[in-house]
Structure 1
Amino acid sequence: MLRKISFRLLCLLMPAISLAQQTTEYPNDYLSPEFHAGRRAAFREMMPDNAVGVFFASQVRVRNNDVDYQYAQSKNFYYFTGLEEPNSLLLLFKKPVTILGATGTEFIFVQNRNPQQEMWTGKILGVEGVKNKYKIANVFTNDKFTANTLDLSAVDTVLTVYKGENILSKYGSRDQLSRMAGIVDSMITALKKPVGERTTGRIMTALRGIKQPEEIRLLEKAAAMSCEGHNDVMRAVKPGMTEYQAQAIMEYNFKKNGSEYPGYPSINGSSENSCVLHYVTNLRLMKDGDLLLSDCAAEYHGYTADVTRTIPVNGKFTPEQKLIYELVLEAQDSGFAACKPGNPFGAVDAAARRVINRGLIKLGIVANEQEARQYFPHGTSHHLGLDVHDMGPRTLMEGVCLTVEPGIYIPPGSNCDKKWWNIGVRIEDDILITKDGHRNLSASSPRTVAEIEKMAKQKSIFDK
């Protein structure tokens, strides 16, 4: 009954609007072939001598019966190629080698054209398509990759990111990808070649952790789309709506602006659900006096934002909610101040945590800093980029992108005055470290109590 009532509400809220009127114009700005070539060259430069880099595309995963999940490419493979097709393998060498009569330092094996399959699931680029679109010279169909294709006898280290040495276990055995993985795995085992997982991780962290200008532009757009969604939820949310309606409004904004996916499962938790850090059920009917914690962001051309706002469902914070909110806001501002080149990554968390520890003690919610940890149980920051929890260095430097996201969560039954129960607050923004300090990529969504309450009074496109 709850779902039927709420769905009817959503239908009433949905406006009769033109998508052309509502869509923000974003140009065709995928990463260029030159970007990907530059990243491959940077990896080769950092490779040890006599090593080979082995990067597989993601496998196709079955959702149920004969239906697959929507395909999502391996982020490392995408970083180096731009190709978003499965059943592909990239090989990188420090010095030129000869494979299948072609000499070079990079080779890619891709799907063959298949008109029957393309009729059902879309165009496959094939060898010529990959050569033309991504400017990679040595391209072969994946059926050409056999046990005789790659000679590992002269290779000292296989650079890959798979945990353990059994590459095949990553895939199973249902397609060309697993066949190629099995060949590589068998060669490594037979020749007892070391797998340089840590070396690969170190190189990838160094590369992906410092964002190039092209990557920053995509992160800026992902953050802008995310902020549009958060702002519209601030305007639209009302008592009597459900958490999943807030999610629908949020993700509508992402999709209308060109986001291919949400960056991660959308978190929309109200009341006691705001105190569950990764709550994604999003089913509860929201009531007058509730807080709604929305941790939602768009992914754009492979790069994801990560933005959280906490708002009063009725548009007005209660005195207790306001005290907790402004304590988290103060902690976030302290975290921002620590976002300087040269600071250790942990300085951001330390700055935010000092504020929250002091504030919770002052409010009488805890007696000491050790008790405060239960109400702020997570770290303040993580790297951001191709993955929502991305690779990155432990020292802040120009080009690093990270989140600053302190929070306080007081679930029902907590050992404090009941007036604090069901208050969960997280405020999260995406910060780019610059030459002289930092820049907030998600600053276009209000953070202060006054700004949020002001936006809550504005008309939403979903109002009738």
Structure 2
Amino acid sequence: MTPYADRRARVLAQMQPGAVAVLGTAPEVTRNGDSEYAYRHDSYFYYLSGFAEPESCIVLVAALGERTARAILFCRAKNPDHEIWDGFRYGPDAARTTFGFDEAYPFDELDARMVGILSNVPALYYALGAQPDLQVAGWLNAVRALGRTGVTAPATMHHLLALLDEMRLLKDAHEVGLMARAGAISAAAHARAMRATRPGMLEYEIEAELLYEFRRNGAQAPAYSSIVASGPNACVLHYNANNRRVLEGELVLIDAGCEFDGYAGDITRTYPANGRFTSPQRTLYELVLRAQAAALAAVKPGQPYSGIHDAAVRVLTEGMLDLGLLDKRKVGTLDDAIGTRAFAQFYMHGTGHWLGMDVHDVGVYRDVSQADKPSRALQPGMALTVEPGIYVRPAEGVPEQYWHIGIRIEDDVIVTDTGARILTNGVPKDVAEIEAWMKAA
């Protein structure tokens, strides 16, 4: 539990002396009748606690004068009757010692104890507008009602999540280890699905191969709804119905990753259902692969985050012009086509995103400390995806040989002191590698 205790200490060090921070976890949600969705903790809460039970709350009290800082956990009380039905609960005593908190109390005492904790403190740090179930307004009103006895309520409020976003953006060694495992499991699942694919299968049959490999290797769940898109479905960016039959001669685009101990993998691979690329498919695939190589080369500490996208766009746009997807007579030079975003007809999304506990992880992409808010400089410890693509829908002037071809290639990387460490190399990516892998099935 050392990494979690260290993070709580870092938060306390950044708080105003004597201030209080409050952070609850996600509630359980009813699916239908008396059945609930599979529970998943709040990412911010887990980042500071490592504790995955519902009905839990962290309270941090910053040091002031001779009063030392305190980290308090509220969690469900031990209840043998409930545990018969729903499984083990730590309870406050075991949770305090296991997860390294200074104090722990039953969750049912949260409202009553918060009135005392918030009395005579200068400031409150809270997930503003994000967790109304914590009844912050009720606590503050109860403290203010004690004003006639000389008790004061916090004078200022601070957005706790903004502070945590900056911390979560830079991964520590513990997190990198978990992300490497998530990437390895996700890669194994893609390799399995790729080898299992045959024309005539339904997309959800291929998805089942992914899910089997995720769970078999200890992942708790998919990190997001898996995309298994064949033929024209690959041109729908967030397609996830996964119910079409895969036809001979088509490509299959899979965008999927697992969640392992709270951290997400996120991989996309595109491959031919029959194991052999056609000439047009190969041409576009190798264009996207070159774009990804250029984008990966732009992942260096000190370089702007936007440089990753710019590198991919330049390669893709040049290829679109050379292949006649873009008409040079209409869009002009390469720089003209980039400047007017002519490429967006076939490449309309960014080249990646932050990655971590959430598949689209927290953190700003611009340096908001500067007036013109330039693209943020990459730093060692940042985790991100690199995922260029090309999506060709039927349209006037677009060569018909490329119609209905959608390709995306995505890997997970950690920014290092010298460049990028790719976490997802365990699944074929080059044309020859893909064809050889599928032929061996």
TM-score of the two chains, using structure 2 as the length reference: 0.88
Aligned residue for 1:145, secondary structure, equals helix
- Answering whether residue 100 of structure 2 is matched by residue 135 of structure 1, we say yes
- Please point out which of 26, 29, 33 is paired with 1:65: 33
Counterparts of 1:424-435 in structure 2, within 5 Å, are 424-435=406-417
Give the drift of 1:124.
1.0
- Which stretch of structure 1 is more off in the superposition, 223-232 or 414-423? 414-423
Call closer, same or farther: CA 1:187–1:220 in 2, change over 3 Å.
Answer: farther
Residue 455 (structure 1) aligns with: 437
| Structure 1 partner of 2:392 | 410
Deviations 1:267-309 (A, max 9, x none): 1011111011111110000010111100011111001111000
CA distance in 2 between partners of 1:144 and 1:123 (Å) = 20
Offset of residue 184 of structure 1: 4.0
Amino acid at match of 2:77: N
Which residue of the partner structure matches residue 195 of structure 1? 157
Q: Give the corresponding residue for 1:29.
A: none
Equivalent of 1:309, from 269, 276, 283? 269
CA contact (8 A) 1:269 1:294 kept: yes
Give the AA of the match of 1:106. Answer: A
1:384 to 350, 355, 358: 355
Q: Residues 237-256 of structure 1: CA distance to partner in whole angstroms, max 9, x if unpaired? A: 00011110111001111110
Between the aligned partners of 1:94 and 1:35, the Cα distance in structure 2 is 19
Report how many aligned residue pairs link the two structures. Answer: 411
Would the aligned equivalents of 1:272 and 1:412 in 2 still touch at CA under 8 Å? no
CA contact under 8 A between 1:228 and 1:445: conserved in structure 2?
yes
Provide, for residues 349-405 of structure 1, a one-character-per-residue CA deviation record: whole Å limited to 9, x for no partner: 111111111111211112333221121111111111111111246321111111000
Per-residue Cα deviation, 1:80-102 (whole angstroms, up to 9, x for no partner): 1111111111111221699xxx9
Between 374-383 and 43-52, the greater mean CA deviation after superposition:
43-52
SS in 2 for 1:221: helix
Q: Is residue 56 of structure 2 the alignment partner of residue 85 of structure 1?
A: no
The answer for the alignment partner of 2:83 in structure 1 is 118
- Name the CA distance, whole Å, in 2 between partners of 1:220 and 1:85: 25
Partner residue of 2:3? 35
2:72 to 97, 104, 107: 107
- Give the superposition deviation at 1:162: 3.5
Tell me by how many angstroms 1:181 deviates: 5.0
Corresponding position: 1:56 with 2:24: yes
Task: Give the 5 Å matches for 1:14-33.
Answer: 33=1
Aligned to 2:62: 94
SS at match of 1:323: helix
For 1:308 and 1:138, locate their aligned partners in 2 and report how far apart those are by CA, in whole Å. Answer: 44
1:183–1:49: structure 2 CA closer, same or farther, 3 Å change rule? same
Task: Write the distance in 1 (CA, Å) between the matches of 2:300 and 2:187.
Answer: 24
* Aligned counterpart, 1:16: none
- SS of equivalent to 1:54: strand
Decide whether aligned partners of structure 1 residues 137 and 96 sit closer, same or farther in structure 2, where only a CA change above 3 A counts. Answer: farther
Q: What is the Cα-based RMSD across aligned positions, in Å?
A: 2.2
Instruction: Name the structure 1 match of 2:187.
Output: 227
Structure 1 pair 256–106 and aligned structure 2 pair: CA distance change class (3 A) = same
Could you tell me how far apart the structure 1 residues matched to 2:140 and 2:223 are? Answer: 32
> How many Å separate the matches in 2 of 1:60 and 1:127?
19
Distance 2:142 2:207 in 1: 48
SS of equivalent residue, structure 1 residue 149: helix
The reply on whether 1:351 has 2:316 as its aligned counterpart is no
Residues 163 and 146 (structure 1 numbering): CA distance in 2 closer, same or farther, change over 3 Å? closer
Which of 232, 236, 246 does residue 196 from structure 2 map onto? 236
For 2:58 and 2:295, locate their aligned partners in 1 and report how far apart those are by CA, in whole Å. Answer: 40
Which residue type is aligned with residue 421 of structure 1?
W
- TM-score relative to the length of structure 1: 0.84
Alpha-carbon distance, 1:214 to partner: 1.0
Q: Post-superposition shift, 1:203? A: 2.0
Taking structure 1 as reference, are residues 145 and 414 closer, same or farther at Cα in structure 2, changes over 3 Å only? farther
1:259, distance to aligned residue in structure 2 (A): 0.3
Report the counterpart of residue 292 of structure 2 in structure 1: 332
Structure 1 unaligned spans of 5+: 1-32, 172-177, 460-464
Instruction: Please name the residue that 2:422 is paired with.
Output: 440
**2:222 match:** 262
Letter of the 1:374 counterpart: Q
Deviations 1:397-426 (A, max 9, x none): 111111000011112446512221110100
Q: Report Cα offsets for 1:64-117 as digits up to 9, x if no partner.
A: 11111000000111011111111111111221699xxx9742111111112221
Q: State the partner residue of 1:361.
A: 321
Indicate the SS of the match to 1:195.
strand
Residues 240 and 51 from structure 1, CA distance in 2 versus in 1: closer, same or farther, beyond 3 angstroms? Answer: same
Q: Counterparts of 1:104 and 1:238 in 2: how far apart (Å)? A: 60
* Deviation per residue, 1:112-146 (Å, 9 max, x gap): 11222111111111012202321212001112223
Gaps spanning 5+ residues in structure 2: where?
A: 146-152, 332-336, 365-375
